[in-house]
Amino acid sequence: MFAVIETGGKQYKVQYGDVIYVEKLAAEEDSVVEFKVIALNDENGLKIGAPYVDGASVKGKVLKNGKAKKITVFTYKPKKNEQRKMGHRQPYTKVQIEAING
């Protein structure tokens, strides 16, 4: 059984026990979050929502809130002696899938 969920403007294919990294959620560690289900595949076949599957939900446990590794962003304009160097660390939430309810 698997489900396609939507969070943070992205879609993820998940199964029970998967650990995924999603855009930062407003949730504390060890709390339970619920995701919207776009598609659900179980023993009865594939169900596709319009836009979401009615009565279906995916619950996950928040393992960690953190930041990814730093990337360097360097912008410049040629022949104008204009340049800028910045760093960026994208925040994320690490979630473990605990239940898929159809």
pLDDT for 102 equals: 82
Q: Which residues of the chain have pLDDT under 70?
A: none
**14, HSE (Cβ side, Cα atoms, 13 Å):** 29
Tens digits of residue pLDDT in 50-68? 999 999 999 999 999 999 9
Separation CA 95–CA 84 (nearest Å) = 35
pTM of the full predicted structure?
A: 0.85
Q: Which residues of 57-70 are buried (b: 16+ CB within 10 A; e: fewer)?
A: bbebbbeeeeeeee
pLDDT for 13 equals: 97
